[in-house]
Chains A and B, each alone.
Chain A
Amino acid sequence: DVKVTQSSRYLVKRTGEKVFLECVQDMDHENMFWYRQDPGLGLRLIYFSYDVKMKEKGDIPEGYSVSREKKERFSLILESASTNQTSMYLCASSKGGETQYFGPGTRLLVL
């Protein structure tokens, strides 16, 4: 079975803090994705990566950056957390153009 894990289920941070969300997949997938999920808005793509050290902006990249130093790991970074970044963050991975597999999500609260 494909497994996508995220480092934390729940996270509480203060405004201005630097936040790291980690995602790891164990199926040697080339593609990895970060989404945020908000009520009534569905999932919106923040960043994605097709290969190590490659990254592409999604629909809402402002205020975020990413890092992909190893194939299995894709990190989402909030350089200076703000209250409007309080959300559920979902990581996904896929092989080629096939189905995306999702992690359990990290619920981030920024105070």
Chain B
Amino acid sequence: AQSVTQLDSHVSVSEGTPVLLRCNYSSSYSPSLFWYVQHPNKGLQLLLKYTSAATLVKGINGFEAEFKKSETSFHLTKPSAHMSDAAEYFCVVTLNAFSGNTPLVFGKGTRLSVIA
């Protein structure tokens, strides 16, 4: 079975400072990992995904995440926060895409606040 733990329910940063949103996963098999973002009153948008290619994954809006198998982590980072980054972020795990159609398992979310 797969599971994902987002270590912080709320993160607050100042504009222009780095962002770190932490995620640990558990999976019996080779996982695919995703980060989704949800802005207020909007649907979920894919930020980036890891599917067993390069361990450092670049996404939209300057975000990136690094897959670390030894630490079972997939933390999301951004060098410099922008006010528009304020949103809810979800770390998601599923079996590797080649393993078939498997539903996504979502973390409980991290709310990112950006202070001017």
Contact = CB atoms under 8 A, between A and B. Distances in A.
Contacts of A43: 44, 90, 104, 106
Interface stretch (B13-21, B65-73, B92-100): B92-100
Given A97-B94, A99-B34, A50 B101 contact: yes
A26 to B, nearest CB: 15
Interface stretch (A11-19, A64-72, A76-84, A101-109): A101-109
A63 to B, nearest CB: 19
A45 interface: yes
B26 to A, nearest CB: 15
Interface residues of B, number: 26
Report the contact-size class of chain A (Cβ under 8 Å from the partner).
Answer: 20 to 34
A97 B97 contact: yes
Contacts of B45: 102
Interface of B: 9, 32, 34, 36, 42-46, 49, 90, 94-104, 106-109
Interface of A: 4, 30-31, 33, 35, 40-45, 48, 50, 58, 90, 92, 94, 96-105
